[in-house]
Structure 1
Amino acid sequence: MVKIAIQGFEGCFHEMAAKQYFRNNEVKLIYCDTFEQVFHNIEKDDGTMALVAIENTIAGSLLHNYELLCNSGATVVGEKKIHISHSICCLPEDSWETIHEVHSHPVALMQCRKYLESHKHLRAVEAADTAGAAKHIAINKLKGQAAICNADAARLFGMKILEEHIEDNKHNYTRFLVISPKEKANLVSNQEETNKASLAFTLSHERGSLSKVLSIFSFYGINLTKIQSLPIIGHEWEYMFYIDLTFDDYKLYRQSIDAVKPLTREFMNLGEYKDDTTEQQEENKTTVI
């Protein structure tokens, strides 16, 4: 059995991603109110792993989670990308004529912005979690209130679905990182399948310092799939760079790392793992058919 700490409640997208990634394992989920609590769980128990959202195709990167990952000393051992589809739901006795508020996580509200603009009578209220918003309304029988969450969560809490697929962009994906205590990382990752890495580093505040690093990766045939900068608190105009790389040859990748390290001031290998392209591949198959 695998113990997985996630942020959110029953029926949330983190739960969906965890069950899909660990579909061949018996899973015990540890539900947490915040991402800080998620990382605290893997720090206090080396038998616990975590799954955390790191970026969305519409909302962008969750910058705070990068910071938590770096400070945790844990290791990324995998990733899962899932399609995000939102539904609006309410109590069975409510309807469009009776609801006046809609509750959800601020990112979900943003992803349904155009839909909400077309329903101006609904006041948007931020909540800690999508599924948690539905659960709160259902348990407390809050008439006149609706929630935005995935359809499975709505059914789980006995809510009535008013409309499905209300997200503005139908190509809406969230990428989740699977995180393990560093001591256990080798037990859950397979180097033979490894073709992706997440790195973090700082550079000297000199002209062309980032360009030199990127040129080395290009020379070794390493593909840069993401770059994210985050200001370093207390050091004006200095940044921590987070990058994701994919590669076909693990030895060349390791050689590129050896060449890059001397150019950095602080270097962290956050994890090496297998790239997840399942969702996009399935969507492409559907499009072709």
Structure 2
Amino acid sequence: MIHPSEFGALRAFAAVAEQRSFSRAAEQLGVSSSALSQLIRGLEERLGIRLLHRTTRSVSLTEAGETLLAEINPAIDGLTGALARARDAARRPKGTVRLHCFHAAADSFVVPILPQLARDFPDITLDLTIDDTVLDIVGSGYDAGIRIGEVIERDMVALRLGGDIRQLAVAAPAYIAEHGAPKTPKDLLDHRCIRWRWPGQPGPYAWEFFEQGRWFSVAVNGPLITSSRAVMMQAALAGVGISFLKEESVVDAFARGALVPLLQEWSVPFPGYYLCYPQQRQMAPASRAVIDLIRNAASDLRQPAPIA
């Protein structure tokens, strides 16, 4: 078994053999000539054989030195190449980055970076899972995730993306004409509501409202439960019932009169999406590249103005 200190001695021996000079080899290795001489002398003593002929004017290899050099050069070349490839990987990020992202965040924060990711980092593969399930990011094998702040594990680094989120109860004019509009959140219990099931949760999501400095929830009822916010939108547009949707997703429907906002005074913004990843001293260059792209792109986003 080779002691770790002998790798340095062998590298020193190879440098002297290549340069045929202690002073030039010392300069190449960044050590003093005396320190280099001690390394070689110690190596010779441990091996029990002379490797170099030394005179005041020259250095040459003994027969044993020639044999040893021939044996160790391929290994040294291999190690040098491996280190060079490692340094190159740090300069040129490559590999697969696994990202878990909530549905509503994918269009805002991931899709916009894809052209630049493909152009600037052709050796990176982004393995993107779009899913609203709250899972253990690290335990599930992901490098990072994008989710709302309230479901981020405490031991994760969290970088805020974009602005606040506001959820609104909405309905089609036809529904309101037939069933009337709720005046308070508790009135929703008498209405047909389109409910959303958070993937991985046993029951439908209870709608959350804010009053007098505190949040409270209403467990609504209705004819439809779905895990798709797109289906909730379509059902609301069709007059099936009242939906609870992110404001940014219904701005256009408000503008054309297809949907009407309800209970706005009880609906306040809350912190939105975060990019989260585990704390680590040395992050893989590919992961760092993807995280930086998402963070930089998110800083340019502008949230839509609230509905008056």
Point out the structure with the larger helix share: 2
Regarding TM over 0.5, the answer is no
What TM-score does the superposition give when structure 2 sets the normalisation length? 0.36
The structure that has the greater radius of gyration is 2
What TM-score does the superposition give when structure 1 sets the normalisation length? 0.38
